[in-house]
Amino acid sequence: MKKINVLLILFLSIYVSFSQEKEKILTLLYENDDRRIRFNNEIIFIDEFNIGFLEGSSWLVIWQELEYNTRRLHNSLYVYNIDHNNNEIIYRRMLSLKSFDELDNIRRWYGDLHGVTINNDTCQIYDFNGDGYDELLMFRYGSPAPELLIYGFDPRTNRIELFCEAPCHISTNVNQSSPIEFITYKGMRGIKIQNNTAPYSWYFYAWDLNQYRYIKIEEYQKEIEIISEVLNQVIEEEVIIETQEKTNIYNKDSFPLLIMFLIGSGVIVITGLIVVLIKRNMNHKKGEKI
């Protein structure tokens, strides 16, 4: 019981300390940022994240502005680097400006990803590339074209940089499945992204540590991988049979079995190729209908 009380007191003290810290940052921004001083914006979201700045602390902030003429609300997403000792803003960058709610399917896609969804539908924050710092992922829907954007901290410049800007298929269909998936492909860590033009093919983007961004590698072809695996398996089994044949070359009973196995292997390969061609044809027709 005493241990539980100690843990509870410790948790409350941490919570109170963080709340006080957040209030200090709010006061600092309201007193020093132009979004408040000149435009009288309100902060509707603020929280601290491990974005990567080497000094001070990193904060994600959403400013909200009420447009005077149209009476529409605009939300601006900012990243701040705050110096606590000198009580000043070291760095800030605006990442997005929105005046509308996201599509329902985009909200669902955020929920399917690892990490935290910011303000219901603004972006997703998580260490997607595995560098130890949080990145910000967002879908940009509208003109000039739908895109996937990922921002993150670049230790070479000590700034927030654009890690990924890739065309991405986003439709108004609420049942559309997510057009992105974080995967390991051919030994490379990255993202599979569905292109925004028919036939809406998938492309793989790998994380390049030297360039510190996602690089487009090639069209993603899962079917080719499946066929390669089948062929490799067939080759391995044929090698085994060939070895057995050499060790028992005068055994006439094994010869018919070998012929049957080779015929069966050929049927498997041909069937796999037919399935791939049918799938590609169906996907092409679906792309024309969308």
Q: Which of 230, 240, 239 is nearest to 275 (CA)?
A: 230
Residue 169 has pLDDT above 70, yes or no: yes
User: In angstroms, how far is the first alpha carbon of the chain from the final one?
Assistant: 62
Whether the Cβ atoms of residue 47 and residue 40 lie closer than 8 Å to each other:
no
pLDDT at 12 over 80: no
pLDDT band at 2 (very low <50, low <70, confident <90, very high): low
Structure confidence at residue 190 (pLDDT)? 97
For the chain, the three-class secondary structure string (H helix, E strand, C coil) is: CHHHHHHHHHHHHHHHHHHHHHHHHHHHHHHHCHHHHCCCCEEEEEEECCCCCCCCEEEEEEEEEECCCCCCEEEEEEEEEEECCCCEEEEEEEEEEECCCCCHHHHHHHHHCCCEEECCCCEEEECCCCCCCCEEEEEECCCCCCEEEEEEEECCCCEEEEEEEEECCCCCCCCCCCCEEEEEECCEEEEEEECCCCCCCEEEEEEECCCCEEEEEEECCHHHHHHHHHHHHHHHHHHHHHHHHHHCCCCCCHHHHHHHHHHHHHHHHHHHHHHHHHHHHHHHHHHHHC
The average pLDDT across 1-22 equals 56
- CA angle at 100 for the pair 36 and 45, rounded to the nearest 5°: 40
CB atoms within 10 A of CB 191: 24
pLDDT over 90 at 282, yes or no? no
pLDDT beyond 80 at 106: yes
- Distance between alpha carbon 284 and the CA centroid of its chain, in Å? 25
For the segment 57-92, what is each residue's pLDDT rounded down to a tens digit?
Answer: 999 999 999 887 777 889 999 999 999 889 999 999
Q: Which residues contact 283 (CB under 8 A, 6 or more apart)?
A: 199, 200
Q: Is 243 left (phi over 0), alpha (psi -120 to 50) or beta?
A: alpha
Rounded Cα distance, 42 and 21, in Å = 18
Task: Note the pLDDT tens digit of each residue in 174-225.
Answer: 899 999 999 999 999 999 999 999 899 999 999 999 999 999 999 998 765 5
Average pLDDT over residues 156-183: 95
What pLDDT sits at residue 66? 86
| pLDDT at residue number 19 | 84
Q: How far apart are CA 119 and CA 14, in angstroms?
A: 23
Q: Residue 162 contacts by C-beta under 8 Å, 6 or more apart in sequence?
A: 149, 150, 151, 213
Q: pLDDT grade, residue 102 (50/70/90)?
A: confident
Lowest mean pLDDT among 28-37, 188-197, 246-255: 246-255
Total residues found in the chain within this entry? 290
**Which pLDDT tens digit goes with each residue over 256-279?**
555 565 566 665 656 665 655 566
- Cα-Cα-Cα-Cα torsion 54, 55, 60, 62, nearest 10 degrees, comes to -140
